[in-house]
Amino acid sequence: MAKITPRLIVVLFALLIPFQAAAQQLPAPKIAVLNVDHLMRDSLASKSIRGQLEKKRAAFQADISKRENALREADKKMAQQRAVLAPDAFAERQKEFQRQVADTQRYVQNLKRQLDKGFADAMRKVEKAVAEVTEAEAKKRKLNIILTKNMVVYMAPALDITKSVLARLDKKLPSVKVVVSKK
């Protein structure tokens, strides 16, 4: 059994002193809670992004529908010509039709990628603005901890700063332009 010597007690006490000093230097926690999901869903900028995206999606869908209808017509025409065309000529037209189908599929995939990229780029701007206005709100209220609402089991309603951050966000960033290229 180990003996506790006065020397060991002095060493342990010396080790604890820095921890006590550090604990005494920490400021008292000033905590707030922020519903980031609410900000990302209900801010003016997020609503503008969703509206623009829906318009672009509808326009792209109209374009895709035209291409699909053209392919259906070409397929129907090819089926009618099957009996009258020589096998070589029909095979060539079928190959051309398959190329058109593949081109259309690539076009649709590219549009989807560009829409997703435009949405992600626009939302990153909103996220950046959320961080900036949250920091400003923290400084204004002299907060040193802000938790997201999904991390909190219970809180007093007075700790929720979502409304004031949303007001700041809407003032700072009322809309974001969604840029979608058709590469």
Q: What would the pLDDT profile of 108-131 be if each residue is shown by its tens digit? A: 999 999 999 999 999 999 999 999
Of residues 95 and 15, the one with the higher pLDDT is: 95
For residue 151, is it within any domain? yes
pLDDT at 24 exceeding the cut of 80: no
Q: How far apart (Å, rounded) are the C-alpha atoms in residues 105 and 89? A: 24
Q: Which tokens is 133 given?
A: 């206005």
For residue 85, is it within any domain? yes
Q: How large a percentage of the chain has pLDDT more than 90?
A: 66
For residue 35, is it within any domain? yes
State whether residue 168 is helix, strand or coil: helix
pTM exceeds 0.85 for this model: no
pLDDT computed for residue 167 by the predictor: 97
Domain count along the chain: 1
2 Cβ contact partners less than 8 Å away, ≥ 6 residues apart: none
For residue 12, is it within any domain? no
pLDDT at 14 exceeding the cut of 70: no
State whether residue 35 is helix, strand or coil: coil
pLDDT computed for residue 2 by the predictor: 53
Q: How many other β-carbons are positioned within 10 Å of the β-carbon of residue 16?
A: 10
pLDDT band of residue 81 (cuts 50, 70, 90) is confident
For residue 183, is it within any domain? no
State whether residue 177 is helix, strand or coil: coil
For residue 24, is it within any domain? no
The CATH number given to whatever domain includes residue 72 is: 3.30.910.20
For residue 139, is it within any domain? yes
Q: How far apart (Å, rounded) are the C-alpha atoms in residues 180 and 121? A: 10
Which of 151-156's residues contact partners 24+ apart within 8 Å by CB, and which partners? 152/33, 155/33
Provide the domain limits for residue 100. Answer: 30-172
pLDDT band of residue 26 (cuts 50, 70, 90) is confident
pLDDT at 176 exceeding the cut of 70: yes
For residue 60, is it within any domain? yes
